Each structure stands twice: as structure tokens, then as C-alpha cells.
Amino acid sequence: MEALQTNVTVISGQKAKLACIFSSINHELSLSSSHQLIWIRQSYGSHNGDSILAHNQDLLITDYRLNIQRTDHDYSLTITNVNIDDEGIYTCEVNTQPPQKAFVHLYVQAFL
């Protein structure tokens, strides 16, 4: 399994798109409706446990700022009006054989 990691930096108050694009050995992976996908936000510091944010196109938490987009090759999480509390590591997973993960580290800069 190959895990990809990207960094995304945004200014507080802006929109962040966390893209989850998977590829197989010789081509982009085509995501069929049978693939199960999830977005997880990793907890750190005083928070215990990771939070599952979305399963396929369903948000599992109530946050009007979050939006899920799924195409044949992309599974993205968009956060509008980003704030410093959104900073952290987000993981996207798909149940391919072998399973694949992509990590996105979101950095939020204070609005000056």
C-alpha cells in the first residue's frame, strides 16, 4: 500500500480543499460505487480519539462548513470559513485491494 501525503496551507476565513486522489501502479484508480471511502480527522493534544467526518458522500458530523465531493478519480473534503481549530492531519481511506490511504496536513495561518 502506498500512502500519499500533501500539505495544504490557507489563511483563516478562507476555503480549504483537501483532495484525495488515488492511483494504481500504471494509472489513476477509478472509484466505483462499490468502493467505500472515509475521511478521518486525527486528534492530537488534549483530544482523545480520531473523528470520522464522512463515509462515502455522507457527512457524519454536523458542520455546515464541510462539503464532500466524489468523482470517478477524486474524493475531496472542502472546508469553508477555515479557522485555527481546523488545523491538523486528515486521512482519506479507500477499501481497494490493497487498501489505500492519503494524508493531508492542513495548516491555518492567522488573518493579518
Largest CA-CA distance found in the chain, in angstroms, rounded: 46
CA–CA gap between residue 111 and residue 90 (Å, rounded): 22
Closest CA to 32 of 44, 24, 41, 43: 24
Distance CA 111, CA 5 (A): 25
- Of 8-17, 24-33, 78-87, 96-105, the least confident: 24-33
pLDDT digits (tens, 9 = 90+) for 3-53: 677 899 999 999 999 998 765 544 455 566 677 888 999 876 555 668 888
- Domains of the chain: residue spans and CATH: 10-96 (2.60.40.10)
Q: Is 40 helix (H, G, I), strand (E, B) or coil?
A: strand
